[in-house]
Chain A
Amino acid sequence: AQSVTQLDSHVSVSEGTPVLLRCNYSSSYSPSLFWYVQHPNKGLQLLLKYTSAATLVKGINGFEAEFKKSETSFHLTKPSAHMSDAAEYFCVVSVSTGKLIFGQGTTLQVKP
């Protein structure tokens, strides 16, 4: 069965410092992995996707993620946090029918 585990429910950083949001996955075949962001009372916006073309994936707003098969990880990073990055982040795996399995989410707080 496919699943994802987000290792931190809450991450707090200062503006201008790096961001690291951690995600481990479980999959019986080559996974399709995504990171989505959700701002309060809004839908989800795609940040980036991994579909086996390249292990380092660049997304929008300066975010990137690295797929590491040996560690079954897909961590999300950004070199320098901005206040507007404060939101809920979801690591997601897509199963064979295309439906998405979401992690529990990580709340990113950015302090001035």
Chain B
Amino acid sequence: DTGVSQNPRHKITKRGQNVTFRCDPISEHNRLYWYRQTLGQGPEFLTYFQNEAQLEKSRLLSDRFSAERPKGSFSTLEIQRTEQGDSAMYLCASSFGRERTQPQHFGDGTRLSIL
């Protein structure tokens, strides 16, 4: 069990640039979630995949955000035309099965800083 891996760990970019983050879930996990955590707050749900299908998107996910999970393996989260308010920790989590009782396993996150 290698755990959930996220890359990069840190990303610093100028406002208006595009950024892409990658998440590699635990290999047998069919569910993958993205969350955003701002300083001093709990994580907030962004989107969720079951295998390659994106089944739910939060209203927080504006049209500048897009996520993919091709082939049901790794996932990418892209932010276009970044804004100051996008500065946050982006967390990926994965779980196995169909039950909401299954715990999610988190990666260490990607910290995004917008200059």
A-side interface residues toward B, CB under 8 Å? 32, 34, 36, 41-46, 49, 51, 90, 94-105
Contact-residue bracket for chain B: 20 to 34
Check A102–B101 contact: CB distance below 8 A: no
Check B45–A99 contact: CB distance below 8 A: yes
A-B interface, 3 closest residue pairs, ranked by CB to CB distance from nearest = A102-B42, A43-B106, A51-B101
How long is the Cα–Cα vector from A99 to B56 in the complex, in angstroms? Answer: 9
Which of B55, B93, B106: most chain A Cβ within 10 A? B106
How long is the Cα–Cα vector from A23 to B55 in the complex, in angstroms? Answer: 29
List the A side residues contacting B56 at CB < 8 Å.
97, 99
B67 to chain A, nearest CB (A): 14
List the A side residues contacting B28 at CB < 8 Å.
none
Check A100–B41 contact: CB distance below 8 A: no
How long is the Cα–Cα vector from A43 to B37 in the complex, in angstroms? Answer: 10
List the B side residues contacting A101 at CB < 8 Å.
45
The chain A residue with its CB closest to the CB of B3 is A43
B105 interface residue per 8 A CB criterion: yes
How long is the Cα–Cα vector from A96 to B98 in the complex, in angstroms? Answer: 10
Contact of A44 among B6, B43, B55 (CB under 8 A): B43
List the B side residues contacting A102 at CB < 8 Å.
42-44
How long is the Cα–Cα vector from A52 to B99 in the complex, in angstroms? Answer: 13
How long is the Cα–Cα vector from A32 to B4 in the complex, in angstroms? Answer: 22
Contact of A32 among B44, B101, B106, B108 (CB under 8 A): B101
